[in-house]
Amino acid sequence: MELTIDSVTKRFKEKVAVKEVSLEITPGVWGLLGANGAGKTTLMRMAAGIMKPDGGQIRCEGIPINVLKEKYREIFGYLPQEFGFYPEFTAIDYLEYMAGLKGLTRRAAKVKIEELLERFSLTQAAKMKISKMSGGTKRRVGIAQALLNDPKILIMDEPTGGLDPGERVRFRNLLSEASRDRIVLISTHIVSDVEYIASRIAVMKQGSLIALGSTPELVQMARGKVYTCLVPQDKLAEYERKLNIVNLRNEQEGKVSLRYLSQSPLTEDSQADEPRLEDLYLYLFPNETKEAE
């Protein structure tokens, strides 16, 4: 199974939302990282076939998806960023309806739905109207829906949005379990969602792909750019202005331990530190520091 994104471009009037992005996606979990407006959703919508690229092509096993049509949709699962549904549906109505549209037989649907309800702890909420559910529960119904047809290609746009930490961990485990022989592409701006489970991570910025690799490979890019130092509490404000701080922690005796990004050490007692994926993200998106987690 291979999904090829071949120099795909999408323009909205003047704005270029996706700029000549090329990716060869193979089975495994792929993370798509990028700040707000980077073009993740636009790229995924094109891969889902609900938006046509202005340039380039998306192919599955070498055949353009707009040629494959139904054959592509049959092996495809999608969770959009904004999860829409008919307001009158309960979770079970909705899953049944989706199973029908995905071409499952009645019996296969019944088994699959039960399994998914169980797996996403939705058994309690099965008869509840989706419109009355909390954001996280809704999201889980959305994820369950995407998995109904055991898709070979699964694309989820910010699937962890609204999930509590427990669910998030469970979701991560489930994904890595499910990704053995299928393509899973998830977008997020939460680094920890993909840090440990993604086999490959693609980073988008302003419509372009700016980095691609496994977590350790990407982390290498930040090597030698992460430093820690101890500063007195009363000087903190001054340092905050001066340094690109990733993290700070209160220590004893009125001192604060800072972790910052820089090309070279900026204080005398600074020590180089082991980089993490989050450091790279903040290094690549310095302006988003305040918004990112």
Partner 1 sequence: MSVLKLEYKRILKTRSTVIIFAAALLISALLAYLPTTFAYSAYINEAGEMVELRGLKSIRYEQTLQQGISARVDGEDFRYAVETYQACLNEYGLENSYELPGEVYTQRITPVAPLLSGLKEVFADPTTGIQPTVMQIDPSLAENFYELSKSALFSQAQRSLPEAALKQAVRLYDKVAVPFVFSPASNPNAMDYQVLCAFIVMLLCSVVVSPIYSSNYQTGADDILRCTKHGRVRLALCSAFVALSLSAAVFIACTGVYILLSNSFFGWECVKTSIQLMYSALNLAALDMGGLQLTVFLGCLLSVLATVSFSLFISSKVKNNVTSLCASIFTCLAPVLIYLAVPGSFGLLLRCLVPSAGSCLQSSILYALTDFEFLTFGNLSLWSPFAMMIFGAISVPLFSGLAVWGYAGHGSK
Q: Which residues, numbered 204-223, are part of the site for ligand ATP (CB under 6 A)?
A: none
- Does residue number 17 form part of the binding site for ligand ATP (CB under 6 A)? yes
- Does residue number 188 form part of the binding site for ligand ATP (CB under 6 A)? no
Name which position in 41, 149, 160, 215 contacts Mg ion (CB under 5 A): 41
Please state the closest distance from residue 71 (CB atom) to partner 1, in A: 9
- Does residue number 81 form part of the binding site for Mg ion (CB under 5 A)? yes
Q: Which is nearer to Mg ion, 38 or 261 (CB)?
A: 38
- Does residue number 42 form part of the binding site for ligand ATP (CB under 6 A)? yes
- Does residue number 188 form part of the binding site for Mg ion (CB under 5 A)? no
Q: Are 27 and 71 in contact (CB under 8 A)?
A: no
Tell me the residue number closest to Mg ion, measured at CB: 41
- Does residue number 12 form part of the binding site for ligand ATP (CB under 6 A)? yes
Choose among 23, 30, 32, 19: nearest CA to 4: 23
Residue 39 interacting partner from Mg ion, partner 1, ligand ATP, none (CB closer than 5 to 8 Å by kind): ligand ATP
- Does residue number 160 form part of the binding site for Mg ion (CB under 5 A)? no
Please state the closest distance from residue 11 (CB atom) to ligand ATP, in A: 9
**Binding range to ligand ATP, per CB under 6 A, among 35-43, 117-125, 138-146, 269-277:** 35-43
Contacts of 234 (CB under 8 A, 6+ apart): 254
Please state the closest distance from residue 77 (CB atom) to partner 1, in A: 8
Q: Are 204 and 243 in contact (CB under 8 A)?
A: no
Residues written for the chain: 293
Residue 80 interacting partner from partner 1, Mg ion, ligand ATP, none (CB closer than 5 to 8 Å by kind): partner 1
- The mark string for 153-192 relative to partner 1 (x by CB under 8 A, - otherwise) is ----------------------------------------
DSSP codes joined into one string, the chain? --EEEEEEEEEETTEEEEEEEEEEE-SEEEEEEE-TTSSHHHHHHHHTTSS--SEEEEEETTEEHHHHTHHHHHTEEEE-SS----TT-BHHHHHHHHHHHTT--HHHHHHHHHHHHHHTT-TTTTTSBGGGS-HHHHHHHHHHHHHTT--SEEEEESTTTT--HHHHHHHHHHHHHHTTTSEEEEEES-HHHHHTT-SEEEEEETTEEEEEE-HHHHHHHTTT-EEEEEEEGGGHHHHHHHSEEEEEEE-STTEEEEEEE-SS--STT-EE----HHHHHHHH-GGGTTT--
**Binding range to Mg ion, per CB under 5 A, among 55-63, 73-81, 144-152, 188-196:** 73-81
Residue 13: both structure tokens together:
């009037």
Count, residues near ligand ATP per rule CB under 6 A: 13
Please state the closest distance from residue 139 (CB atom) to partner 1, in A: 13
Count, residues near partner 1 per rule CB under 8 A: 38
Binding site for ligand ATP (CB under 6 A): 12, 15, 17, 34, 36-42, 81, 189
Binding site for Mg ion (CB under 5 A): 40-41, 81
